[in-house]
């Protein structure tokens, strides 16, 4: 379930340059127009909330960010404005420029945990920057800049000789170690930030994040795990409090790497998937990097879309009715 995908320890879980990594919004792009209208119909409610249909219809800052990215890529400004308005009004807490990670409409207080999720903040800032540049809205460029600076000031840590992105502001640091999530490095967002704001420090995040990801490879296949622990000695290992799986989070590592033209960061994943396909085996939903055990069931349509993207093999074209799978499909189609 999605809550399990996000939960860890105490954490319950401006503008862009004209030449953007995966292109400026193109309303006529075939793959984008194929997915966005149906995605919007299935997962965007009338208020501007992106609904996680696989997780009790809650919402995440991540989902709002995905919706904003997909809307601006499709050239759908009314939908973008609606999603951004809801996000700003419901997930920002007081004067904090970052966004609460989870919204549950069933609760008397829908935002019960004010902690953020860094991938959601990065997606939102990326989308705001693109929208501000494409539609000529200075206020959106300003919002993007404010979020970027807050991420650098509040969500980074110097550890093991590297400057790294924390998954959230609270709950991921202990003495001599940090818990990290490789899939929170949204590479197309980071690279766009480095281009539009070369003096802010994003290039160091990119360099050190690349070094971190090349270390965060485990088991015979060299796969990243959903959650990783890094020690101040520079040692990287699967997070001891979590199952050591290449699973529902880590599948986004090859997705973001491919979207940013940095496929080398996820080459072991691509090679693993290719080897499975060549052997006539199914692509499993998860892999235990310590034991080699794999899930008895196949990966979702969303993961298979990523497999198709990075291996060049055919994939289905129908959009999943599950939020997370549909997100992965829609993002993979941006390449």
Determine which helix (DSSP H) or strand (DSSP E) holds 163, and give its type and residue range.
strand 162-165
Alpha helices in 20-173 (DSSP H): 30-43, 61-73, 77-91, 118-135, 138-154
Q: 32, 52, 76, 119: which one is catalytic?
A: 119
Residue 247 CB contacts under 8 Å (≥ 6 apart), including other chains: 225, 226, 285, 286, 287
Coil, strand or helix at 107: coil
Concatenated DSSP letters of 253-304: HHHHHHHTT-GGGGHHHHHHHHHHHHTT---BS-EETTT--B-SSBPPHHHH
Mark whether 288 is an active-site residue.
Answer: no
Which residue is listed with tokens 């966005």? 36
Taking the CA atoms of residue 19, residue 24, residue 26 and residue 29 in that order, the dihedral angle to the nearest 10 degrees is 70
Copy the structure tokens of residue 130.
């693109």
Copy the structure tokens of residue 268.
């072991």
Q: 32, 52, 62, 76: which one is catalytic?
A: 62
Looking at the DSSP bridge assignments, the partners of residue 329 are: none
First-residue to last-residue Cα distance in the chain: 28
Mark whether 62 is an active-site residue.
Answer: yes
Estimate to the nearest angstrom the gap between the alpha carbon of 177 and the chain centroid. 23
Question: SS3 helix, strand, coil % of the chain, rounded to 5?
Answer: 45, 15, 40
DSSP state of 156: E
Q: How far apart are CA 248 and CA 43, in angstroms?
A: 19
Classify 23 in phi/psi space as left (phi over 0), alpha (psi -120 to 50) or beta.
left
CB 129 within 8 A of CB 144: yes
Active site residues: 62, 119
């Amino acid at each position: 379930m999605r809550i399990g995908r996000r939960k860890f320890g105490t954490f319950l879980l401006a503008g862009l340059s004209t030449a953007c990594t995966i292109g400026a919004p193109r309303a006529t792009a075939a793959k984008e127009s194929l997915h966005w209208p149906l995605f919007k119909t299935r997962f965007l409610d009338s208020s501007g909330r992106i609904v996680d249909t696989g997780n009790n219809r809650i919402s995440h800052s991540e989902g709002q960010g995905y919706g904003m990215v997909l809307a601006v890529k499709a050239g759908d400004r009314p939908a973008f404005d609606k999603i951004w308005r809801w996000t700003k009004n419901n997930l920002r807490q007081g004067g904090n420029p970052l966004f609460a990670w989870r919204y549950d409409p069933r609760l008397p207080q829908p935002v019960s945990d004010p902690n953020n999720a860094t991938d959601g903040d990065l997606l939102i800032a990326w989308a705001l920057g693109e929208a501000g540049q494409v539609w000529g809205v200075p206020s959106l460029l300003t919002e993007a800049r404010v979020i970027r600076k807050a991420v650098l000031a509040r969500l980074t840590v110097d550890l093991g000789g590297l400057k790294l992105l924390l998954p959230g502001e609270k709950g991921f640091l202990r003495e001599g170690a940090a818990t990290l999530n490789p899939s929170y490095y949204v590479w197309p967002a980071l690279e766009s930030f480095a281009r539009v704001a070369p003096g802010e420090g994003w290039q160091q995040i990119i360099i050190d994040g690349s070094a971190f990801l090349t270390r965060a490879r485990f088991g015979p296949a060299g796969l990243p795990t959903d959650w990783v622990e890094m020690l101040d000695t520079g040692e990287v290992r699967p997070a001891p409090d979590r199952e050591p799986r290449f699973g529902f989070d880590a599948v986004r590592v090859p997705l973001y790497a491919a979207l940013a033209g940095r496929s080398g960061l996820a080459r072991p994943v691509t090679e693993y998937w290719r080897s499975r396909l060549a052997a006539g085996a199914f692509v499993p939903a998860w892999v235990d990097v310590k034991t080699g055990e794999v899930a008895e069931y196949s990966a979702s349509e969303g993961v298979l879309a990523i497999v198709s993207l990075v291996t060049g093999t055919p994939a289905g074209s129908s959009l999943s009715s599950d939020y997370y799978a549909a997100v992965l499909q829609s993002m993979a189609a941006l390449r």
